[in-house]
């Protein structure tokens, strides 16, 4: 089908039939492979969820750099918002999250954002007062930056798949992509000055409230 050709109307789901979904039928009629899309969304949801976890660790080690901590916190909470936004879409499409969180984490579409100096997460730190000398602000900012870049690539790909065919997934992925692009700009700005002493402005100031997620949170729906 040409990209913007009007799809043939389909009506294969019988009156009262719960085994099919018109919301899926219409996107399939427009050329979407619903199973493949669900699979991509699960991978991307896993990346958001694991990033949220790893950013929790990374943020702790920015101690003494309260401005970096604040920006990391915004990115962390917004990635959680991205998981929250996209998880229901997986079910609307007839899919499910994996029932085991280990399988979920393994499916992540992005590499683990390990704290620098922890041997890819394998180092056995002391449970109390562990010191990780390699976890410098510059090293941490590099990990944060590359995680955002992976997210931009992943959501851009989902936008490409959904554009003009699955408008709801497109709208959600676009909201997330908006914030991921802002996140990359934040960490370019901070890393550039921290590591290279060069100003590369993001063009932004910090969020009004931590993890504000101006594009991806639909506050009005649930908390009027």
Comparison of 151 and 174: residue with beta carbon closer to Zn ion? 151
C-beta separation of 154 from 177 below 8 A: no
Residue 79 as a binder of Zn ion (CB under 5 A): the answer is yes
The size of the interface with Zn ion (CB under 5 A), counted in residues, is: 4
> For residue 57, how many C-alpha atoms fall within 13 Å in the half-sphere facing its CB?
18
Of residues 136-175, those binding Zn ion (CB under 5 A): 151
Query: What DSSP string describes 74-116?
Result: HHHHHHHHHHHHHHHHHHHTT----SSHHHHHHT-SS---PPT
What dihedral angle (degrees, nearest 10) is formed by the CA atoms of 135, 141, 146, 150?
A: 110
Of residues 111-140, those binding Fe ion (CB under 5 A): none
Q: How buried is 193 (Cβ within 10 angstroms: 0-12 exposed, 13-18 middle, 19+ buried)? A: middle
Residue 207 as a binder of Zn ion (CB under 5 A): the answer is no
Residue 183 as a binder of Fe ion (CB under 5 A): the answer is yes
Comparison of 41 and 75: residue with beta carbon closer to Fe ion? 75
Give residues with Cβ within 8 angstroms of 5, minimum separation 6: none
Comparison of 180 and 189: residue with beta carbon closer to Fe ion? 180
Backbone φ, ψ for residue 6 (5° rounding): -75, 125
C-beta separation of 55 from 72 below 8 A: yes
Show the binding pattern over residues 73-92: x = contacts Fe ion (CB under 5 A), - = does not: --x---x-------------
Q: Which does 166 bind (CB under 5 to 8 A by kind): Zn ion, Fe ion, none?
A: none
Of residues 141-180, those binding Fe ion (CB under 5 A): 148, 151, 180
Return the residue of 30, 69, 82, 217 that touches Zn ion, per CB under 5 A: 82
CA–CA gap between residue 40 and residue 57 (Å, rounded): 26
Q: Which does 189 bind (CB under 5 to 8 A by kind): Zn ion, Fe ion, none?
A: none
Comparison of 79 and 194: residue with beta carbon closer to Zn ion? 79
Q: Which does 172 bind (CB under 5 to 8 A by kind): Zn ion, Fe ion, none?
A: none
Q: Where do contacts with Zn ion occur on this chain (CB under 5 A)? A: 48, 79, 82, 151
Q: Where do contacts with Fe ion occur on this chain (CB under 5 A)? A: 75, 79, 148, 151, 180, 183
């Amino acid at each position: 089908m040409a990209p913007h050709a009007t799809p043939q109307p389909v009506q294969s789901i019988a009156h009262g039939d719960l085994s099919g979904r018109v919301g899926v039928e219409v996107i399939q009629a427009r050329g979407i492979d619903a199973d493949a899309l669900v699979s991509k969304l699960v991978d991307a949801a896993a990346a958001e969820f694991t990033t949220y976890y790893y950013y929790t660790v990374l943020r702790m080690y920015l101690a003494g750099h309260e401005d970096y901590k604040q920006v990391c916190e915004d990115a962390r909470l917004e990635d959680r918002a991205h998981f929250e936004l996209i998880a229901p879409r997986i079910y609307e499409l007839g899919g499910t999250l994996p029932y085991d969180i280990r399988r979920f984490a393994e499916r992540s579409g992005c590499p683990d954002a390990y704290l620098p100096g922890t041997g890819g997460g394998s180092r056995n730190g002391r449970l109390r007062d562990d010191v990780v000398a390699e976890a410098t602000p510059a090293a941490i900012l590099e990990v944060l930056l590359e995680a955002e870049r992976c997210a931009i690539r992943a959501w851009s790909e989902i936008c490409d798949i959904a554009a003009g065919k699955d408008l709801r997934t497109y709208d959600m992925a676009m909201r997330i992509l908006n914030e991921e692009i802002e996140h990359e700009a934040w960490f370019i700005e901070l890393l550039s000055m921290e590591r290279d002493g060069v100003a590369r402005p993001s063009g932004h100031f910090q969020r009004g409230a931590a993890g504000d997620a101006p594009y991806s949170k639909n506050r009005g729906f649930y908390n009027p």
